[in-house]
């Protein structure tokens, strides 16, 4: 899979192009990518995706933007698994935001990317002030493949619905919406070794999610290993300003430093809380590990 961080200046071979943020890669996104690959094969052209970094809402109003479900690396992993051949990662800035729908279609989609077919959701908006819609693609004579919305239990599948399920600890619903357990990936880095001092050593997973969609204590899988994860600010020990992800891998004595791992969130045990002493914290961690053992058994 080729990844482009800038729009190519040389004319590209024709492609079928899906456009969107693809945050979370839920059932709706999966249906769109499946149709993209199918369309590209039928036309004997490449399957390409255009996505945006940062999320447009993060650019316009960072403080009120939705929490992120997927880092860029995670999205790229999903695209590769889906059989996408080219990914154009668009740096969302004021210049891109100012393009009219007509400028966006002509300058980027036609002149730069040579998009023969366009695949978007039925509610897709684009261009300055979100003035463009699927009607503009039709008027501009693109081969438009617009998919109807995907529903689960008669309700539209969306990234917002996934965020709400994660925020409320409803992991079974999140798993249904994603067709897989929700996960966060990152590199295991050295920490302060606080967990080891308490008798529960942890793998500190460096996240690219500055504002993850969930917090608390969970039974997780770190790759194929059973574990207990705390995603929060460690209020008892340090009260960090930035959320961190720590995973105690149950009955494991190996070395994970430097490895890129995936942490799957399977069952919420409790919210993060502050304890009066390290002794009380240690006792609660032991209870959390017992709950996780029961869950996996």
Q: What is the pLDDT of residues 86-131, one digit of tens each?
A: 999 988 888 888 899 999 999 999 999 999 999 998 888 888 888 8
**CA distances, 35 to each of 27, 117, 200 (Å):** 12, 11, 46
pTM over the 0.85 mark: yes
Phi-psi region of 153 (alpha: psi -120 to 50; beta: other; left: phi over 0): left
> Does residue 239 surpass a pLDDT of 60?
no
Q: What is the pLDDT of residue 208?
A: 79
In degrees rounded to 5, what are phi and psi of residue 174?
A: -60, -40
Domains of the chain: 2-148 (3.40.50.620), 182-296 (2.40.30.30)
Write down the mean pLDDT value for the chain: 89
How many of the other CB atoms lie within 10 Å of CB of 112? 18
CA angle 167, 198, 245 (to 5 degrees): 30
User: Is residue 264 over pLDDT 70?
Assistant: yes
Give the pLDDT confidence score for residue 198 in this predicted structure: 66
* pLDDT tens column, 19-69: 999 999 999 999 999 999 999 999 999 999 999 887 777 666 666 778 889
For β-strands 2-4 and 225-232, DSSP reports them as unpaired
204 against 11, higher pLDDT = 204
Quote the CA–CA distance of 9 and 166 in Å, as a whole number. Answer: 41
- pLDDT tens-digit profile of 211-228? 889 999 999 999 999 999
Q: How far is 222 from 183, CA to CA, in rounded Å?
A: 9
Cα 260 from Cα 262, distance rounded (Å) = 7
């Amino acid at each position: 899979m080729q990844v482009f961080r800038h729009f190519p200046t040389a004319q590209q071979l024709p492609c079928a192009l899906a456009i969107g943020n693809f945050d979370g890669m839920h059932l709706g996104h999966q249906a769109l990518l499946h149709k993209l690959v199918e369309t590209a094969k039928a036309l004997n052209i490449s399957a390409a995706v255009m996505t945006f970094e940062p999320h447009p809402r993060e650019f316009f109003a960072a403080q009120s933007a939705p929490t992120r479900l997927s880092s860029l690396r995670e999205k790229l992993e999903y695209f590769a698994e889906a059989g996408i051949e080219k990914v154009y990662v668009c740096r969302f800035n004021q210049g891109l935001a100012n393009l009219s729908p007509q400028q966006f279609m002509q300058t980027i989609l036609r002149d730069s990317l040579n998009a023969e077919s366009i695949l978007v959701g039925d509610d897709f908006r684009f261009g300055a002030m979100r003035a463009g819609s699927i009607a503009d693609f039709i008027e501009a004579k693109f081969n438009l493949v617009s998919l109807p919305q995907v529903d689960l239990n008669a309700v539209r599948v969306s990234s917002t619905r996934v965020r709400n399920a994660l925020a409320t600890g409803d992991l079974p619903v999140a798993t249904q919406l994603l067709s897989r357990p929700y996960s966060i990936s990152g590199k295991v880095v050295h920490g302060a070794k606080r967990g080891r001092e308490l008798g529960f050593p942890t793998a500190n997973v460096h996240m690219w999610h500055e504002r993850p969609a969930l917090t608390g204590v969970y039974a997780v899988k770190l790759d194929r290993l059973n574990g207990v994860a705390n995603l929060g600010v460690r209020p008892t020990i340090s009260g960090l300003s930035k959320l961190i992800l720590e995973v105690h891998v149950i009955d494991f004595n190996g070395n994970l430093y430097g490895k890129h791992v995936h942490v799957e969130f399977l069952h919420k045990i409790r919210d993060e809380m502050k304890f009066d002493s390290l002794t009380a914290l240690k006792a609660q961690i032991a209870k959390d590990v017992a709950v996780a053992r029961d869950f996996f058994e």
